[in-house]
Structure 1
Amino acid sequence: MRFLSYVFTLLLALALTACGGGGGSSGSNPNRPTIFTTAPSALSMPLGVVQQYSVRGGVAPYTVSSDNVRVANASLRGDALLINSVGQGGASITIRDNNGGATSVAITVGDPLKLSMENVKSYVGDKIKVLITGGTPPYRVSTLETGVTGVVNGNELLLTLNAVSKVDVVVLDALDQQAKMNVEVITGSPQFNLVPVAQTISENSTQSTVLTVIGGVGPFTVRSSDTTLLNAAVSGNSVTLTTGTNGRRCVSEDTIVTVTVVDSRGAFATSSILIADNPAGCGLRLSAKSVAVIEGDTVKLTLEGLSNTGIVTLQSADPKKATATYSGGVITVVGVQTTLVPEQPAVPANPNANPPVEAKPAVPAYDDPVTITVIDSGPPTGSDTFKVSVLKKTP
């Protein structure tokens, strides 16, 4: 692809600065301006796309490198930085100037590796099932102590709690991306219990969680203390937790939901589920709030935080310039016509004209990005927006 350097310089400075920028060092000469980029310091990208940013400050010429070219590589065209996502996982892009200054961008490509539980507390002898999502299969598990052992089967991790301990269990994918959970093993093993007895999940999670009934006399019944956040269903000795009637698990602060199982004798066992508030927010989440695309080309964003049954629609404020479609967690944006408004020359005053003409100053070229609205029909309903700058394609 060929890019117009002037258009990059103007568009990316205006349209992408809102994403935040990676700050850098001034290098060996502190009197020189510090190098920085309009790319955010931490960037999530879908697989197989190119995103464009700009480099500023420092002393040209610039160079760029990636510490993991299997995940992301980058190139420079003048002061335009192009980042290309080629594999799932993490990478760090470093831009250096001719004065020894540098700035970096942390890249995460694809769906991040996630576990259905973040923190678990249960008894010696219990077995815990954890679901693995995202990343790049196959998965493997690493534990640093014999107090907890783990086996991965497909996308399921089975933990066996062997001895009293506190252990960090790490799951890795094929690209060495990591997800960690803390497991606390405590003494005692009641004749009737629900394991794990306590765990933490993120409010952003929509994954189901499986608890196991140990002991007791079936058949069992189960109830949730807050069905707006978590529904509970029992089959045999397995209890499955799914998102409640709210359609999301969003909370204003850390919130505990108690799941209670009752056996045929009337005995009961409980498990405490802490739904952790995410300071970054809950609901619809886009991988970028502004993107740039060349006329006739496409760029992709990822969308998370959807309701369980909602339908996603996208509305472009100007479909003659940019459109978008959604499928399987990915939004595809199409650049139709440039959003660059050309320079307007100055108009001199002409009082003798009929009607008289007032003087007007020149207006430099500027970008007028298109706003695209993402709507989730719910329940619950949700919406978010992002802006699209369309770069003019050179002949």
Structure 2
Amino acid sequence: MIKRWMVWLATALVSALAACGGGGGSPGANPNDGALSVGAVTALTLMPGEARTLPVSGGVPPYRVVSAERAIAVAALEGSQLIIGGQNAGETRVTVADRAGNTVGLTVKVGSSIPLYTTAPATLQLGVGPSEARTFRVAGGVKPYVITGNAPLVAAVTQLDAEQWRIQGVAIGNMQVRIRDAAGTELEVAVTVGSPELRVSVGSISLPIGVPSTVILSGGQPPYRIAGGIPSAVQVKRLTDNEFEIVGWLVTGGVDVVFADATGKTVTTNVTVVARNTQIAISPSQLRVAEASGTQVKFQVRTGARGPLVVLSSRPGLVAVSGVTAPTINSDGTEFGSFIGTVGASACVGADTDVELTAIDAAGSVGTATVTVLDLGDVCGEVEPPETNFAVLAPPTLNLPLGGVRTYTITGGTLPLVAVAGNPQVLEASIIGDGRTLRLRGLAAGSSTVFVYDALGNTASGINTVNVIAVDSGETVALATFPSSATGAVGDTLRFVVAGGTAPYTLTINNPAVAAVSPTSIGSSGGEFVATLLNAGSTVVTVRDAKGETVSVQLTAGAGTPNLRVSPSTLELAERTIVTPLHIDVNIYGGVGPYRVFSSDTSLIEVGDGTTFGNNTPIVGSTFTIRQLGSRDVSDDREVIVTVIDSTGASATSQIKIKNNN
């Protein structure tokens, strides 16, 4: 549409100039309106096919306009509006004159305001073969671009699309790549093709004693070998044709392990062995890798905890985490878990940058490894600067219902973008659609931070914290306690959870002779308080939130007996709970352990030791846990009986009432 309009504009302009030597104008006006001016600008940049309108003011109308190079830009007047259209790349002068002979000129450039550039360095070295091929981007200047190589027998140059090109070494030698835009601007890249450089995946590592690390060789001329003697502090063995395992057995400073290829080229990995003083160890714990290298490093995790690993990267745009495998327990302790850390193939840094990888095991122990991404100067060439105002268009703190999904637009940043939830058990965060949409989904009640990174490792501003609330979207979260009432014996300790309403909360008790509560203030939803039963009788605990809303908890204390019993012995719970799933600890008094515990209705109430749930679960200590799933409605009030049986066959029960809230 624009091109058809420009053809019309050019035709109309030529006709007008032929008839009267210039543009049209508006009839007389006050000559004292000020000096002749065109939009208060002296220069203008357009793309081919683009049109721009500028106001003409001052001087003595009518006005005339002339373009020095109509093949580059055409111009016409419509009343006091100057219309300039870009035709072809180049630069010209557009002059506007008034009836009194006053003139004002504009310098019009047709083409990009960004100079032509490529992400390839001015001097490029690469090896022979597909594994050594490199891909680069060209931008700026005026599209389309023409990219050619002058020696196809040395290196093959392929233009992949409008902005990308690829070069692959064919034979040893020198050649040039020439990049030319539509305006005739040229760039050259000098290329030297040689034998592939011998490389090692990790140049420097720090290992805990006894924890192995794997290094990978590439390039050069296989086969690879260990060159020279191996320092006594470490052990090195071959795993595959290009993988070697390093294990440190003595604490030592940096020692060199040297590898060589068939031609005698060598590379070195500097190894530091440190004492292992954490519950969870990651190997390597420190390493240095090159920017934009695409390097993949396998990390091994040693931990005594059975269950899944969670691994997070502080800058996933620079170093991404994948392939997480959980450790397994065998007869001699632990088999190593692992994960892969990958440096982005297009991830460039302006200075050496540390990326922290954090592993969390099933027991909550934390271990870290630090990857330093090295700035290698011009290896990335001229890096296009990131867009400004990199932000998520969302409030810094937001509430999300359990199971709810929300999306938010992201502005700025350099694609591709990566979204990370700080607590992946609570929140799922991902980038969808056009690559600039953040999707959040609530997985479990709790809070999680959210981070969005771009391809250069920049962090988006905007959203910081997401609170996932276990209620249906749109419901008002009422103040409540879980359980809402309880009965026990003198000396028992009962635990309650406060949720909903508006934090903080204050607690008072109307008969402190019967029970004592602690603490008397709670700062956030999901907090707990403890009631200790002092004497036989009844009392009420009143919980008041920040807006004055209150809820009451009925406590009943009995005299107690020396036989097997559980406390609380009666509970009342709502059919749906704000905290999902709801866990309540129940104390066992008397009897002879170990105990076994059963629920009369496991679809409503599950029982277990806090980690494992199910009927007949063995209880070694004096506490077990009931778990209300909280997502199932009941048509009328339901009663669930939890039974505890000790090793002599004695039994005690706790009666739990699930109340229908209609």
CA radius of gyration, larger in: 2
Please indicate, yes or no, whether the TM-score normalized by the shorter chain is above 0.5. no
TM-score of the pair, normalised by structure 1? 0.45
More relative contact order, 1 or 2 (CA 8 Å, 6+ apart): 1
